[in-house]
């Protein structure tokens, strides 16, 4: 059955393996001992989203994909996580150009929003599915963005840690309070000695801050942080990349923010396979959203 997320499986090619970085804090890149864990500020929010899709059927060769996305921001009070903002959407994705009017009408009668995916000139079922998955991913990002925006607007002093890149949140009101916690290292921005320094950081150390390239968007500052010792394990074990808006304060606060993230190592997010790079509140959002998804399990 064609279902699941478009996350890459081992052995599949990486679409964007390399990108560019400009050093902004030190040249060459340095490893900096941050000085042990600290409690994140009270009221900090944590954001993540989920997505699920499955091919429900076909009109001819055209796949009809039904999808569900959800996003949530949780905050922590006295150690317990509580819902602060939530978004979800269930919808249908089809290669619109290849459907007849009758087929479109039939879909509209289902009562769910219908999104159209890109169509290539020649038909390829896997490419069609991939195109649908891209739409699903965009919808999830939209849901996340909405939930995060609601939280940032409602809590004008709270920090927010989101799963993945800060991306589009580098501008606009509240951007200074948003931290991206990236755990996949598909795209490498550094090279040479800088890359060596970044990928061999010791536990509790961060790299100098650099600016990473971002296609068509505002600039983003980023740095690496090692949460758990990696020796005798994988090079990437416990390695995270943090992101914030491109501002002088990001340089000033990189050590502090790194210490907050070290403070979030416990409790660990097992049984999640990427527990070494995941913090518990974000792991919990996924559990929470998946539980609320009901029949989509």
Partner 1 sequence: MVATELLPSSPYQFHFWTATDATIGIGAIVRVDDGAGRIVHAVIVDGRAYSDLPTPLHEVVAAEGNPAAQPPPTRRVEIRLWTAAVLRQEPPEPVQPVPLATVHLATESDVEIALRMDAYVRAEPSTAIPIGIYSAGGMRAPVYLDADFLLGPESAHLNINGVSGLATKTSAVLFLLSSIFAHFPRSKGQIAAVCFNVKGPDLTFLDQPAALTAADREMYAALGIPAEPFKAVRFYAPFKADGVNLNTLRSHPDLAGSVEPLVWGLREVLDFAEVLLNRDDIDAKADAFLDFLGDRVVGKTFRDEWGGQHRVESFAGLERLFRAIFDGLESAGGRDMWRTHHVATIRKVRNRLLNISTRCKGLVTDDDTAHDLPFGAFDDRALYVIDVAGVDQLGQDLVFTRVVSKLREHLERRDLGVDHVVVFVDELNKYAPADGPETYVRRMLLDISERGRYLGLVLFGAQQFRSQVHRRVVGNASTTIYGRMDSDELAMPGYQTISAATKSKLATLPKGELMVRHPHFAHPIFLKFPRPAALAGRQGIERFPPAPDVPFGEAVARQLRVLDRRIAASGVQDLIDGHREVDVRSALLATRRARPRDPLAFFAARLRPSIPRRTADGGDQSAVQPLKPVEDPYAP
Q: Given the rule CB under 8 A, which residues bind partner 1?
A: 39-40, 76, 79-81, 263-268, 270-271, 280-281, 284, 287
Name the minimum Å distance from CB 34 to partner 1: 16
Name the minimum Å distance from CB 101 to partner 1: 43
User: Helix (H, G, I), strand (E, B), or coil: what is residue 281?
Assistant: helix
**Partners of 63 in beta bridges:** 58
Name the minimum Å distance from CB 283 to partner 1: 9
Name the minimum Å distance from CB 162 to partner 1: 16
- Residue 293 burial by CB count (10 A; 0-12/13-18/19+): exposed, middle or buried? middle
Nearer to partner 1, 80 or 157 (CB): 80
Token digits of residue 100: 């007849």
Beta strand pairing call for 21-23 and 210-212: antiparallel
Torsion angle of the four alpha carbons 268, 271, 276, 282, in this order, in degrees rounded to the nearest 10:
-70
**Helix or strand (DSSP H, E) at 146:** helix 125-154
Name the minimum Å distance from CB 95 to partner 1: 38
- Provide, for the chain, the percentages of residues in helix, strand and coil under a 3-state DSSP scheme, each rounded to the nearest 5: 30, 30, 40
Nearer to partner 1, 145 or 265 (CB): 265
Nearer to partner 1, 66 or 277 (CB): 277
Token digits of residue 271: 């049984």
Nearer to partner 1, 121 or 273 (CB): 273
**Partners of 58 in beta bridges:** 63
Nearer to partner 1, 83 or 123 (CB): 83
């Amino acid at each position: 059955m064609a279902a699941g997320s478009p996350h890459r499986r081992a052995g599949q090619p990486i679409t964007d393996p390399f990108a560019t970085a400009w050093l902004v804090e030190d040249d060459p890149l340095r490893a900096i001992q941050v000085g042990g864990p600290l409690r994140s500020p009270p009221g900090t929010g944590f954001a993540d989203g989920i997505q699920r899709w499955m091919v429900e059927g076909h009109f001819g060769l055209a796949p009809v994909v039904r999808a569900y996305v959800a996003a949530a921001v949780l905050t922590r009070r006295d150690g317990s996580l509580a819902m602060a903002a939530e978004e979800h959407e269930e919808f249908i994705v089809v290669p619109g150009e290849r459907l007849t009017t009758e087929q479109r009408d039939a879909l509209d009668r289902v009562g769910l929003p219908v999104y159209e995916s890109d169509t290539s000139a020649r038909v390829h079922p896997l490419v069609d599915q991939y195109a649908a998955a891209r739409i699903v991913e965009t919808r999830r990002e939209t849901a996340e963005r909405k939930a995060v925006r609601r939280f940032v607007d409602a809590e004008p002093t709270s920090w927010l840690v989101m799963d993945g890149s800060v991306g589009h949140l580098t501008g606009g009101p509240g951007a200074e309070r948003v931290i991206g916690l990236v755990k996949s290292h598909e795209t490498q921005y550094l090279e040479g000695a800088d890359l060596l320094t970044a990928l061999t950081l010791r536990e509790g150390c961060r790299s100098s801050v650099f600016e990473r390239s971002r296609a068509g968007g505002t600039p983003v500052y980023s740095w690496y942080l090692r949460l758990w010792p990696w020796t005798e394990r994988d090079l990437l074990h416990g390695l995270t990349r943090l992101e914030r808006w491109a501002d002088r304060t990001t340089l000033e606060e990189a050590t502090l923010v790194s210490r907050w993230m070290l403070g979030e190592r416990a409790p660990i997010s097992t049984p999640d396979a990427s527990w070494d790079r995941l913090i518990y509140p974000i792991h919990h959002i996924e559990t929470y959203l998946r539980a609320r998804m009901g029949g989509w399990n």
